[in-house]
Amino acid sequence: MSEAAAAIHTEDHAEHHEELSFLYKYILPVDHKMIAMQYMFTGLIMAVIGGYFAYVFRMQLAYPGESVPFFGIVGPGEYNMMVTNHGTIMIFWVAMPVLIAAFGNFLIPLMCGCDDMVFPRLNRLSYQIFLVSALVLILSFFVKGGGFGGAWTAYPPLSSVPEFSLTDWGASLWVLAVALEFVSFLLGGINFVTTAMNARAPGMKMLDIPIAVWFIVIAVILFMASVGPLIAGAVMLFMDQRIGTTFFLPSGGGDPLLWEHLFWFFGHPEVYVVLLPTMGIVADIITVFSRKKLFGYRTVLYTAFATGGLSFVVWAHHQFVAGIDPRMANVFVVTTVLISIPIAEMLFSYIATLYGGSIEYTTPMLWALSFLFAFLIGGVTGIYLGASALDVYFHDSYFVLAHFHYTFFPITIIGMFAAITFWFPKMFGRMMNETLGKIHFWGTFIPFNCIFLPLFFLGLAGQHRRIYNYDHFPDLATEELQDIRVFATASLVIMLIFQVIFLYNFFYSMFKGEKAPDNPWKANTLEWTVPSPPPHGNFKTLPTVYRGAYEYSVPGREMDYWPQNMPPDES
């Protein structure tokens, strides 16, 4: 611990500042920054596993039946297991821990001017349960029968009867891991909302809170309000699998559609749970690098509330072909199309922020801008799918797959890189290499489009999602379609190779990078007023906040930024 940290509260509790042992500093920390690191590194490791799965099954699609380098021959069971767990991992073990848990933990106390989370030990417990859940999931790949292969949505009866799923314990461990992960985020989420609402610095009013914090808080509230039914469903599914109940089995009086409702009642708000943190991170980054006030702070905030509210009444658009009442489908078409309005409004606010700004193309800014571009494509294609008349044809095709990868890839991967490159100086006290960062950016963003744009056309050509080997389907095994598959796979391999540059830049900069000043980007929010990296306890004294987070280029001021804690009479 640095000397600055030791000087912080010598007056009131001196015993606090002895050097913590390795165990308490790195393995069992209560410090929010260390817990954020734990979440981030666990999430990155899981991302490597998820990316590896994507590589293997894309290779199988491009070169069916051939031995995949670094894996071998892919069997149908393995293929299903990898597709399923790729989705599960990327959403529950990468997007959630990195975007919400890691950056929520890191940013909320720092941006709100607070020395730690309100419930630090709950925070530690949250990570420990999360780690167990990740280990249970990894364990499920190695049990007899292999990992679960019934898609990340786990529709019963396929997922609930071992004779159907062919993965007796794989399926149960998968459910268990997902349930544990929810418990972990429940504990973390309680912390996030309580800290942001109750422990802000003196003077920080509700509308002075940075958008990044607001959006994480809203996302967490959405998660808390939607996850209950899925936990209920997971318990029922687990009971169906293990103790012979028939909640989701028609043969025993159960209802398989019930699971779909319970799952998607959570599953659709979940899209916004992961979207909003990235949206907030992007808002902060584009204001810093356009040197302009965020256009319509309140509008952006209220659209997020509107999105959150609407996200609870759109879930059945995942079930248009599942046999729900067509009259009900009409209602969900309307709500689904309606939800694009607040999201579009948010994007327009961001674009208006960019308009007339002095834009600096730093690496985090490139990521933020590419997020707007890519997410726009994802959002617009979603409108087609939200219309039930079209969805009947598009359902379960590669069009759907390309659509949600154009939402989830920007949210998870682009959002993660934007946040890491932006807050890296604060996290590790050193700057990342800009040149390598830009090479990595273009090496990721161009191949990303080359992977998923062609898949829209495959989907329009009628290619179904869940097929292991298209050679068995003469209509889909034509040379043109196969060429597109090979092109997409080759792009994926190129993209994965470029990630090596990121890993090199990340670890090299962490130890050997240029020392970072306290406020390298000249930003306003409170985390930039403390040393990089922030000491234990963060702030020397409780900061007092005088203004909102986005006062850039205020007319009549010499400095083009105006930190939130700078008294009005200073300049």
Partner 1 sequence: MNPPSPNQTVLLATSEVALPGHPSRAKPPISSGVFGMLIFMVTEAMFFAGLISAYMVIRAGLAEWPPWGQPRLPVVATAFNTVVLLASGFLMAYSRSFFKQGELVQGRRWLGISILLGTFFLIFQGYEWVQLLKFGLTISSHIYGGLFYLLIGAHGFHVFAALAILIYIWKRLEVTNNSITPEGIFPFQLLWYFVVFVWPILYVLVYLT
Signed CA dihedral, 21, 22, 27, 30: sign only = positive
Nearest residue (CB) to partner 1, 54 versus 193? 193
Interaction with partner 1 in 210-269: which residues (CB under 8 A)? 221, 224-233, 235-236, 239, 243-247, 252-255, 258, 261-262, 265
Site pattern 264..303 for partner 1 (x: CB under 8 A):
-x--------------------------------------
CB of residue 276 to partner 1, shortest distance in Å: 17
β-bridge mates for residue 430, sequence order: 515
Tell me the closest approach of the beta carbon of residue 238 to partner 1, in angstroms: 11
C-alpha torsion sign, points 271, 233, 50, 67: negative
- Determine if 201 is a binding residue for partner 1 (CB under 8 A): yes
In three-state secondary structure terms, 460 is helix
If phi > 0 it is left, if psi is from -120 to 50 it is alpha, else beta; for residue 112 that is: alpha
Residue 197 or 380: the one with the smaller Cβ distance to partner 1 is 197
**Would you say 114 or 420 has its CB closer to partner 1?**
114
- The tokens for 27 are 């393995």
198 binds partner 1 (CB under 8 A): yes
**Three-state DSSP class for 464?**
strand
Reply yes or no: is the peptide bond before residue 210 cis, omega within 30 of 0.
no
Choices 13-21, 371-379, 426-434, 510-518 (CB under 8 A): range interacting with partner 1: 13-21
Q: Measured between alpha carbons, how far is 437 from 416 in angstroms, rounded to an integer?
A: 13
If one asks whether residue 11 binds partner 1 (CB under 8 A), the answer comes out as yes
Q: How far apart are CA 407 and CA 385, in angstroms?
A: 13
Nearer to partner 1, 45 or 258 (CB): 258
In the complex with partner 1, the residue whose CB is nearer, 232 or 392, is 232
Contact characters 30-59, partner 1, x per CB under 8 A: x-----------------------------
189 binding partner 1? (CB under 8 A): yes
* Minimum separation from the CB atom of position 546 to partner 1 (A): 12
Phi-psi region of 90 (alpha: psi -120 to 50; beta: other; left: phi over 0): alpha
- The span of 10-18, 393-401, 449-457, 472-480 binding partner 1 (CB under 8 A) equals 10-18
Range 108-147, binding partner 1 (CB under 8 A): 109, 114-122
Residue 457 beta carbon to partner 1: minimum distance, rounded to whole angstroms:
39
The whole-angstrom distance between residue 142's C-alpha and the CA centroid of its chain comes to 26
Q: Specify the stretch interacting with partner 1 by CB under 8 A; choose among 57-65, 198-206, 288-296, 551-559.
A: 198-206
Both tokens of residue 496? 């994965």
Both tokens assigned to 483: 């060429």
N- to C-terminal Cα separation, the chain? 33
- Residue in 263, 271, 188 with CA at minimum distance from that of residue 232: 263
Task: Work out which of 23, 326, 515, 568 binds partner 1, going by CB under 8 A.
Answer: 23
12 binds partner 1 (CB under 8 A): yes
Going by C-alpha positions, the residue among 413, 489, 481, 477 that lies closest to residue 451 is 489
Q: Tell me how far apart the alpha carbons of residues 327 and 342 are, in angstroms, rounded to a whole number.
A: 25
Interface with partner 1 (CB under 8 A), residue from 20, 321, 453, 490 = 20
Give Cα separations from 395 to 62, 229, 265, 517, 533 (angstroms).
Answer: 22, 25, 19, 51, 48
Interaction between residue 344 and partner 1 (CB under 8 A): no
Per-residue x/- marks for partner 1, 504-543, CB under 8 A? ---------------------------------x---xx-
Question: Could you give the CA distance from residue 171 to residue 163 in angstroms, rounded to a whole number?
Answer: 11
Strand partners, 68: 72
CA distance 535 to 145: 48
Q: Is 5 in the site for partner 1 (CB under 8 A)?
A: no
**Of 194 and 553, which CB lies nearer to partner 1 in the complex structure?**
194
Tell me the one-letter amino acid at 272.
Y
106 touching partner 1, by CB under 8 A: no
Which stretches of the chain bind partner 1, using CB under 8 A?
Answer: 9, 11-13, 15-16, 18, 20-21, 23-24, 28, 30, 109, 114-122, 186, 189-191, 193-195, 197-203, 221, 224-233, 235-236, 239, 243-247, 252-255, 258, 261-262, 265, 537, 541-542, 544
